[in-house]
């Protein structure tokens, strides 16, 4: 997954300052991820966050995903990225539109 995300983010056609919403609700392997796995992915995304306005919304509808993913924003903040976890896509879009991502 990191390879594909990395390729997408550094691609010249990727729109800088685009809304970056990571929809993880359908990820079957997410329930098998450990805390270090989540930390690693968060740091990976943080180092590329200037490509998408230093803000990322994560949508995790299943409680199985929602809980573990919530630790990501604390790590992301340490690396200068504003990240929030939402249960629904429309909540993530409202967050971006509110200007709270700055």
Per residue in 10-37, pLDDT (tens digit) is 777 776 666 788 777 666 666 677 777 7
55 forms beta bridges with 82
Provide the pLDDT for residue 90. Answer: 93
| Beta carbons of 75 and 48 less than 8 angstroms apart | no
Is the distance from CB of 26 to CB of 37 less than 8 angstroms? no
pLDDT mean over 61-88: 73
Look at residue 70 and tell me whether its pLDDT is greater than 60: yes
- Tell me which of 41-50, 52-61, 68-77, 88-97 is least confident: 68-77
How far is the C-alpha of 17 from the C-alpha of 33, rounded, in Å?
A: 29
Which residue has 């997408």 as its token pair?
Answer: 8
pTM, rounded to two decimals: 0.73
In this predicted structure, the answer to whether residue 66 has a pLDDT above a threshold of 60 is no
Cβ neighbours of residue 65 under 8 Å, at least 6 residues apart? 24, 25, 27, 30, 31
């Amino acid at each position: 997954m990191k390879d594909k995300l990395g390729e997408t983010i550094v691609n010249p056609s990727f729109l800088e300052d685009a809304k970056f919403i990571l929809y993880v609700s359908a990820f079957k392997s997410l329930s098998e991820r450990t805390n270090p796995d989540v930390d690693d992915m968060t740091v990976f995304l943080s180092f590329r966050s200037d490509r998408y306005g230093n803000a990322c919304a994560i949508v995790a509808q299943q409680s199985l995903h929602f809980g573990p993913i919530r630790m990501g924003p604390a790590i992301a903040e340490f690396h200068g990225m504003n990240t929030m976890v939402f249960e629904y896509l429309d909540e993530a879009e409202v967050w971006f539109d509110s200007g709270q991502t700055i």
